[in-house]
Amino acid sequence: MPRKAREKSESGIYHVMLRGINQQQIFEDEEDYLKFIQILETYQAISEYKIYAYCLMGNHIHLLIKVEKEPLEQVFKRIGSKYVYWYNTKYQRKGHLFQDRFKSEPVDNDSYFLTVIKYIHQNPIKAGLCKKAEDYKYNSCHEYLDKPVIVDTELLFSMIPKHEFLMFTNTLTKANCLDIEEQITRRVTDEEARKIIKKYSKCENATEFQALDLKSRDKYLRKFKEKGISIRQISRLTGVSYYIVQKI
């Protein structure tokens, strides 16, 4: 069956969502988040797009972007390829990182533009990662509150006063915007992860876990991943190599 044609935006503005393959984490630590933002800045100078909002979640990304010089597909081919190459090199892995092609929807009027910006910034609130959008480190709220770096803030501030930004952003919305089909899962904290590891393995610490026979170890590693513990967390808390955990 042929793919459905991507709906074009008359304004050139799109809400874009990019997700990890099989819901895989695409950001394991702070360096990964910062690298993706750096890539956005690098190709902004080349492709001449504008960014109005972004939010980097553990296994997916939301962007509100306006394309001008290059089409959307070319822009994301650049961004995606660069990040995947860097990620695969860092974690010594091969193959795809993102699920199929990116998803997009046109944003062709002021009302929906405001809705999407609010929706993107509220992603971490709905995922239980913070209580206020500005408390999340990896979205564009700080660019609206401080000096913008990669975000064009002028369009939003032509619609709402700057001093109303926080009230506007944190007023919860039930808008049905583009998102992943599955319910967003809250990231497991280290304390929660330790309890899960102890519950299933009966091990009190990493030394005990590493003493398990390989069959038992691998069974528990699979269970930890099913429970939503990230690969990096599992490796850090059990002492098992990141690359072994990843392959299980």
Go through 93-120 and write b for each residue having 16 or more CB atoms within 10 A of its CB, e for each that does not. eeeebbbeebbbbbbbeeebbbbbbbbb
Q: What is the pLDDT of residue 3?
A: 58
d(CA 167, CA 132): 10
The structure tokens 């913008």 sit at 148
pLDDT for 248 beyond 80: no
Containing structural domain, residue 243 = 190-247
Q: What is the pLDDT of residue 183?
A: 42
- How distant, in Å, are the alpha carbons of 16, 127, 189, 191 from that of 184? 17, 6, 15, 20
- Please count the residues of the chain: 248
Q: In what order do the strands lie in the sheet with 60-66?
A: 50-56, 60-66, 13-19, 103-106
86 and 159 housed in the same domain = yes
Q: Are 20 and 32 in contact (CB under 8 A)?
A: no
Instruction: Over range 229-237, report the average pLDDT.
Output: 86
185 belongs to a structural domain: no
Q: Tell me: the pLDDT tens digits for 108-151?
A: 899 999 999 999 999 999 888 889 999 999 999 999 999 899 99
202 belongs to a structural domain: yes
183 belongs to a structural domain: no
Q: Are 26 and 32 in contact (CB under 8 A)?
A: yes
162 and 199 housed in the same domain = no
d(CA 46, CA 243): 35
pLDDT for 44 beyond 90: yes
118: CATH: 3.30.70.1290
Domain count, the chain: 2
Q: Tell me: the pLDDT tens digits for 97-108?
A: 887 778 889 998
Q: What is the pLDDT of residue 182?
A: 43
203 and 130 housed in the same domain = no
48 and 138 housed in the same domain = yes
Least confident of 155-159, 169-173, 177-181, 234-238: 177-181
8 belongs to a structural domain: no
Q: What is the pLDDT of residue 39?
A: 95
Instruction: Over range 26-32, report the average pLDDT.
Output: 88
Instruction: Over range 151-178, report the average pLDDT.
Output: 89
158 and 45 housed in the same domain = yes
pLDDT over 70, % of the chain: 93
Q: What is the pLDDT of residue 4?
A: 63
d(CA 68, CA 12): 7
d(CA 24, CA 1): 26
pLDDT for 181 beyond 70: no
89 and 166 housed in the same domain = yes
162 and 205 housed in the same domain = no
Q: Are 188 and 214 in contact (CB under 8 A)?
A: no
pTM for the full model?
0.72
Q: Are 149 and 140 in contact (CB under 8 A)?
A: no
Main-chain dihedrals φ then ψ at residue 187, nearest 5 degrees: -65, 135
Instruction: Over range 182-203, report the average pLDDT.
Output: 78
d(CA 211, CA 216): 10
- Single-letter amino acid code for the residue at 57: M
4 belongs to a structural domain: no
- Single-letter amino acid code for the residue at 83: Y
pLDDT for 1 beyond 90: no
Main-chain dihedrals φ then ψ at residue 49, nearest 5 degrees: -95, 160
Q: Look at 64 and 92; give whichever has higher pLDDT.
A: 64
